[in-house]
């Protein structure tokens, strides 16, 4: 009997602990707050992931076309984006979906090789311009605000052939390209994003092999790429600010990707590692633009400088900005675009980490995820940790002088299906965390975009990982689009400006095929019955 009683107590403890653990993950108790009236709700996509028509009507090859055509093994399902969701032909249906959702704003990107097939502004492709004009007109017709990402990873391969983002002249080429977009569209487009996730372009594309052009020149190329890209960003900001804003108004910023960094333990070293992660990853791009002082974060300058010296380089592998460049880049954004999906645990490395030389090695920290964090996502990195979202928003608000934040991407990937319970749950939790961030923490968030409007070409995951609110049947000739349950949830949030009545902040069961609670309890229950 005594054993039975003890087991009963144990069962009770498991139930209580599980509830608490799940509440700890959530961004806070269920919030009765609502989103402000003028809060912007939107959906995001990118040209290379949805348009298809990769060589139609004068478009030239992008670095992603080039990479996947030449290395089909790069993509999990050996697919490519030649047709993708065929939005080049189906944009009217896309706008119809946006209307069904009831959102205020649509974030899409322009394909540089579609508009400027040579990479340069010497030849502007009229059919490319016409496509985006049609899309913008269709949006405006239905009162949907267009937000344009100028660069979302699809550089013309012709520019990559001459060094891409490591070639210092790209600052001019990119400015010419942006100028063509402003000239043609700034009368109707009031939100501009210069770059989407520049860290993915430079760190993973030039330093590593995870993104195109998969150059793998770590320790050198990620720093050159970033240097040119930040100058290009500032140049385009000033161009817009001087020549186009006075004529048409509008806002311009950049979209940075950041995980939240939680110390792995409470040790001073791990707390320092988490801080260093944010400073040297997010801060690598954010500090030059959004901080009061400008320039790269002092710690990054110090760490790369010391390592470079030790490695016998004549100068730091991190290029230097001149004081006038620091001034030119600082303050060049009207808002902070944030793409956020997940959280990591950080600790200090006690030996060399990463390839030598590399940004990872220069910084010297270790990043892992808690295996108990819920997720059954098709993207193995996508653990569901809503509290991290809330903390990150507070961190950005505090660190970068209360800059207005627009969450330009947030979402969840699964293996497909209309009954997408996990995505519904993810959005519930992250939007709850966002409400707490706005109302309790006073984080300065002005907008939120779900990634993504529809299933699309998820880079190296091909069509295996689905992020859409709309399911796309890639096998059907018309790439049929069907609203998932998450589309219904999102449209109700947009309409009511609040969370659905049945949202439960402690409920993470949608993320485990054998929920933690059940899997721990079943053996205990069996034992209980035997006693």
The CA distances from residue 392 to 157, 254, 258, 525, in Å, are: 35, 17, 8, 40
Our finding on whether 389 is near ligand NOJ (CB under 6 A) is no
The token pair that represents 456 in the structure block? 């699309």
| CB 480, min distance to ligand NOJ, A | 21
Q: Interface mask (CB under 6 A) for ligand NOJ, residues 435-454, using x and -?
A: ----------------x---
Q: How far apart are CA 359 and CA 219, in angstroms?
A: 6
Cα 375 to chain centroid distance, Å, stands at: 18
CA atoms within 13 A on the CB side of 33: 17
CB of 412 to ligand NOJ, least distance (A): 10
Q: Is 467 one of the binding residues for ligand NOJ (CB under 6 A)?
A: yes
Kindly state the smallest distance separating residue 324's Cβ from ligand NOJ, in Å: 32
Phi, psi of 65 (to 5 degrees): -55, -50
Q: Which of 51, 61, 138, 197 is catalytic?
A: 197
Shortest separation between residue 161's beta carbon and ligand NOJ, angstroms: 24
The three state secondary structure string of 183-211 is HHHCCCCCEEEEEECHHHHHHHHHHCCCC
Nearer to ligand NOJ, 137 or 380 (CB): 380
Taking a C-beta distance cutoff of 8 angstroms, is the pair 380, 310 a contact? no
Through-space distance between the first and last CA atoms of the chain, rounded to whole angstroms: 8
- Report the distance separating Cα 216 and Cα 54, nearest Å: 25
Shortest Å distance, C-beta 202 to ligand NOJ = 14
Closest CA to 499 of 443, 409, 438, 446: 438
- Dihedral-angle region of residue 374 (phi above 0 means left; psi in -120 to 50 means alpha; beta otherwise): beta
Q: How many distinct helices (H) and strands (E) make up the chain?
A: 20, 13
Look at residues 395, 398, 422 and name the one whose alpha carbon lies nearest to residue 411: 422
When binding is defined by CB under 6 A, the residue of 65, 94, 154, 197 that contacts ligand NOJ is 197
Strands 405-409 and 336-339: parallel
Question: Of the two residues 420 and 441, which places its CB atom closer to ligand NOJ in the complex?
Answer: 420
Tokens matching residue 37: 């009236």
| Residue among 202, 180, 174, 448 at smallest CA distance from 335 | 448
Question: Whose Cβ is closer to ligand NOJ: residue 86's or residue 197's?
Answer: 197
Per-residue binding string, ligand NOJ, 325-364, x by CB under 6 A, is: --------------x-------------------------
Q: What is d(CA 154, CA 59) in angstroms, rounded to the nearest whole number?
A: 12
CB 46, min distance to ligand NOJ, A: 5
* Rounded least distance, CB 458 to ligand NOJ, Å: 5
Answer yes or no: 197 catalytic. Answer: yes
Closer residue to ligand NOJ, CB minimum distance, 348 or 469: 469
Residue of 204, 262, 270, 409 that binds ligand NOJ (CB under 6 A): 409
Among 31, 62, 196, 358, binds ligand NOJ (CB under 6 A): 196
Residue 453 phi/psi, 5° resolution?
-55, -45
> What is the spatial distance between Cα 243 and Cα 182, in angstroms, rounded to a whole number?
9
Q: Show the tokens assigned to 304.
A: 């790369």
Query: Sheet holding 343-348: strands in order across?
Result: 260-263, 343-348, 365-368
Number of residues that bind ligand NOJ (CB under 6 A): 9
Give the nearer residue to ligand NOJ in terms of CB position, either 422 or 517: 422
- Which of these is catalytic: 61, 138, 409, 458? 409
For residues 74 and 460, the answer to whether their CB atoms sit within 8 Å is yes
Helix (H) or strand (E) run with residue 101 in it: helix 87-101
Q: Is 460 in the site for ligand NOJ (CB under 6 A)?
A: no
**Euclidean distance between CA atoms 391 and 282, whole angstroms:** 14
Q: Which of 273, 287, 291 is nearest to 360 (CA)?
A: 273
Residue 507: CB minimum distance to ligand NOJ, A = 24
Residue 485-524 contact track with ligand NOJ, rule CB under 6 A, x = bound: ----------------------------------------
Nearest distance, CB of residue 459 and ligand NOJ, angstroms: 6
Contact between 426 and ligand NOJ by CB under 6 A: the answer reads no
Query: Is residue 46 part of the contact set for ligand NOJ (CB under 6 A)?
Result: yes
Which of 448-458 are b and which e, b meaning 16 or more Cβ less than 10 Å from the residue's Cβ?
A: bbbbbbbbbbb
**Closest distance to ligand NOJ from the beta carbon of 150 (Å):** 13
**Nearest CB to ligand NOJ, comparing residues 22 and 200:** 200
Of these, 345, 458, 468, 469, which contacts ligand NOJ (CB under 6 A)? 458
Listed in sequence order, the residues at least 6 apart from 225 whose beta carbon sits closer than 8 Å to its beta carbon are: 164, 165, 166, 201, 202, 205, 206, 207
> 198 or 219: whose CB is closer to ligand NOJ?
198
The reply to whether 409 belongs to the active site is yes
Site residues for ligand NOJ per CB under 6 A = 46, 49, 196-197, 339, 409, 451, 458, 467
Catalytic residues: 197, 409
């Amino acid at each position: 009997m005594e054993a039975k009683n003890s087991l009963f107590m144990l069962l009770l403890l498991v139930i209580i602990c599980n509830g608490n653990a799940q509440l700890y993950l959530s961004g806070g108790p269920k919030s009765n707050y609502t989103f402000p009236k003028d809060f912007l709700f939107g959906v995001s996509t990118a040209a290379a992931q949805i348009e298809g028509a990769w060589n139609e009507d004068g478009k030239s090859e992008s670095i992603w076309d080039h990479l996947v055509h030449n290395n089909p093994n790069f993509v999990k399902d050996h697919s490519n984006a030649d047709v993708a969701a065929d939005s080049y032909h189906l944009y009217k249906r896309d706008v119809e979906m946006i209307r069904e959702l009831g959102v205020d704003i649509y974030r899409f990107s322009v394909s540089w090789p579609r508009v400027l097939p040579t990479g340069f502004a010497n030849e502007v492709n009229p059919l490319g311009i016409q496509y985006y004009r049609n899309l913008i007109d269709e949006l405006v017709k239905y009162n949907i605000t267009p937000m344009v990402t100028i660069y979302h990873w699809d550089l013309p391969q012709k520019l990559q052939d001459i060094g891409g983002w490591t070639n210092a002249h790209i600052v001019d080429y990119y400015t010419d390209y942006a100028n063509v977009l402003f000239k043609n569209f700034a009368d109707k487009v009031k939100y501009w994003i210069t770059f989407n996730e520049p860290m993915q372009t430079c760190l993973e594309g030039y330093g590593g092999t995870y993104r195109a052009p998969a150059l793998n020149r770590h320790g050198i190329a990620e720093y050159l790429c970033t240097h040119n890209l930040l100058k290009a960003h500032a140049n385009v900001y000033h161009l817009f600010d001087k020549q186009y804003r006075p004529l048409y108004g509008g806002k311009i910023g950049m979209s940075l990707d950041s995980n939240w960094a939680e110390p792995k333990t409470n040790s001073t070293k791990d707390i320092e590692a988490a801080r260093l992660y944010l400073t040297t990853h997010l801060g690598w791009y954010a500090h030059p633009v959004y901080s009061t002082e400008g320039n790269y974060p002092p710690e990054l300058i110090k760490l790369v400088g010391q390592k470079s010296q030790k490695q016998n380089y004549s100068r730091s592998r991190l290029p230097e900005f001149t004081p006038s460049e620091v001034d030119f880049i600082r303050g060049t954004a009207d808002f902070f675009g944030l793409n956020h999906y997940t959280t990591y645990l950080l600790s200090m490395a006690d030996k060399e980490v990463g390839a030598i030389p590399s940004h990872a090695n220069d910084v010297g920290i270790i990043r892992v995820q808690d295996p108990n964090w819920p997720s059954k996502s098709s993207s193995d990195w996508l653990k569901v940790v809503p509290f991290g979202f809330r903390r990150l928003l507070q961190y950005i608000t505090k660190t970068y002088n209360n800059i207005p934040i627009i969450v330009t991407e947030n979402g969840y990937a699964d293996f497909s299906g209309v009954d997408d319970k996990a995505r519904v749950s993810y959005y519930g939790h992250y939007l709850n965390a966002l409400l707490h961030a706005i109302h309790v923490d006073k984080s300065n968030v002005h907008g939120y975009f779900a990634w993504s409007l529809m299933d699309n070409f998820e880079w190296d995951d091909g069509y295996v990982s689905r992020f859409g609110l709309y399911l796309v049947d890639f096998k059907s000739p018309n790439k049929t689009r069907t609203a998932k349950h998450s589309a219904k949830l999102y449209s109700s949030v947009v309409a009511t400006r609040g969370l659905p009545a049945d949202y439960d902040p402690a409920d993470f069961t949608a993320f485990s095929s054998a929920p933690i609670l059940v899997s721990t309890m079943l053996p205990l229950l069996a034992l209980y019955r035997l006693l």
